[in-house]
Amino acid sequence: MTINFNSLPCLYWSIKTKIEYIQRKIIVYSIMYYELNDSCISDKDFDELSKQLVELKKANPEEYKKTKYYYVLNDFDGSTGFYIPDKLNKQDKEHLTNISRYVLKLYHNEG
């Protein structure tokens, strides 16, 4: 599940926006899997998304440090999302858990 940033609307996103988009997806998927015991993506898709984030991080370290979720993913190497939900501050955890629940609800209602 690599994100194609070469099509609209992503084509015009800044590097920081692209990084934050993937960060948010990884956090949401980690909450689904490790906190809600559910998922809507395969392990392979999660690994591909993680690899894309790590590559963006390596290519743009200064932009990465400016992202909203740097405090959670500053040491993320793509190997696991296990620790991610526990590193979120209370407000972000509540917000992203609500998003996770909503996405899972949509996913299960479509299936």
Residue 6 lies in a domain: no
Report how many domains make up the chain.
Answer: 1
- What is the tens place of the pLDDT at every residue in 4-61? 999 988 999 999 999 999 999 999 999 999 999 999 999 999 999 999 999 999 999 9
pTM of the model: 0.95
Residue 61 lies in a domain: yes
Query: Where in the sequence is the domain holding 59, given as residue range(s)?
Result: 14-110
- Encoded amino acid at 45, one letter: D
- What is the tens place of the pLDDT at every residue in 84-95? 999 999 999 999
